[in-house]
Amino acid sequence: MGKLWQQLRQASEFDKRRGEVDTFNKGNLWKKRGITMTPAKYGFFYMGAGVSVDVAIYSRDGTVTVSQGGVEMGQGLYTKVLQAVASTLGIPLNMVRMRHVNSHLAANNTVTGGSVSSEHAVQSAITCCETLNERLQPFRTKHPDYDWKNIIGVASLANVDLTAKH
């Protein structure tokens, strides 16, 4: 830690910047600046299986909705999940919508925090989409010229479950 601390101190030019702050503060009676280097440790512990995700494909138009249990608080959780779903299913992003967080639909989630909720939700969403892709593969093979909407239509007529949960 000592070596890392010194590397950070040098890379950030802390001593030089501290001198500039001291000079500024000596020359200003009412306005002051501050600077510090503070070590911080973020305690994180495992608190459950992750974030529950439901993905549903609608047979009429091929749109997709996602229900998940993570809380969006500026970390981009919703965007990341929607992008993962669109990418894994191979459809445009504008065909995927996020439903509001609902603990009835996405029960027993771990807490949102520690910079892992987005990754948990994304992984669960990808797993759901992989399940759906496996169910759709026979129809893609049989109808290689069909677009997404038509693939979903024939799969629906064959009573394929177009929902997945992880």
Q: E strands along the chain, which residues?
A: 53-57, 64-68, 96-98, 163-165
pLDDT confidence bin for 1, thresholds 50/70/90 = confident
pLDDT confidence bin for 100, thresholds 50/70/90 = confident
Query: Mean of the pLDDT values across residues 127-139?
Result: 98
Main-chain phi, psi angles of 99, to 5 degrees: -90, 155
Q: What is the pLDDT of residues 20-62, one digit of tens each?
A: 999 999 999 999 999 999 988 766 555 556 678 999 999 999 9
pLDDT confidence bin for 83, thresholds 50/70/90 = very high
Percent of the chain with pLDDT over 70: 88
Q: What CA–CA distances, in Å, run from 154 to 15, 37, 52, 85, 89?
A: 68, 62, 28, 21, 16
Q: For each of the domains in the chain, give its residue range(s) and CATH number, in order of start.
A: 1-40 (no CATH), 53-165 (3.30.365.10)
